[in-house]
Amino acid sequence: MSNYFSDQNQLGKLWGWNVYVISEGGGEYVKIGTARSLLYRLDGLRNGNPRVLHIAKSWLLESRPAAFAVEKAALAACSGARLVGRDWVKCDAAAAIAAVEGAIVRLGVKLKEPGA
């Protein structure tokens, strides 16, 4: 099974340390973050947000420290596009996904298989 989950029902069953890229309907902004439950996080972000948000990609990591390290490194890689003091960046989802995947490789972080 892959570490990328596009099925929303499957995402709801997962509990772990996720790093995610959430994009908004216009494609101008994305959020790079961590969450214990991805669907609960998405629901919270959608509350009061006038734009349509969806999960562009997520990665299930083995530990909380690994998830935070990847998030921090990915946001640093996007620092030129980062909105002041936030986890939202002004770039497309593909660039944010590349930043997260690059951080995973650079840090040597292991991905967790679902159900493991």
> pTM for this structure?
0.81
Residue 114 included in any domain? no
pLDDT at 14: 54
Residue 2 included in any domain? no
pLDDT at 75: 92
Distance CA 60, CA 32 (A): 14
Residue 3 included in any domain? no
pLDDT of 4 higher than 90: no
Hey, is 73 helix, strand or coil? helix
Q: 108: burial class by Cβ within 10 Å (0-12, 13-18, 19+)?
A: exposed
CB 44 within 8 A of CB 1: no
Residue 69 included in any domain? yes
pLDDT at 28: 82
Residue type, 41: R
Residue 101 included in any domain? yes
Structural domains counted in the chain: 1
Residue 112 included in any domain? no
CB 73 within 8 A of CB 47: no
Q: Domain of 14?
A: 8-107
Residue 63 included in any domain? yes
Span 63-88, pLDDT tens digits: 889 999 999 999 999 877 767 557 78
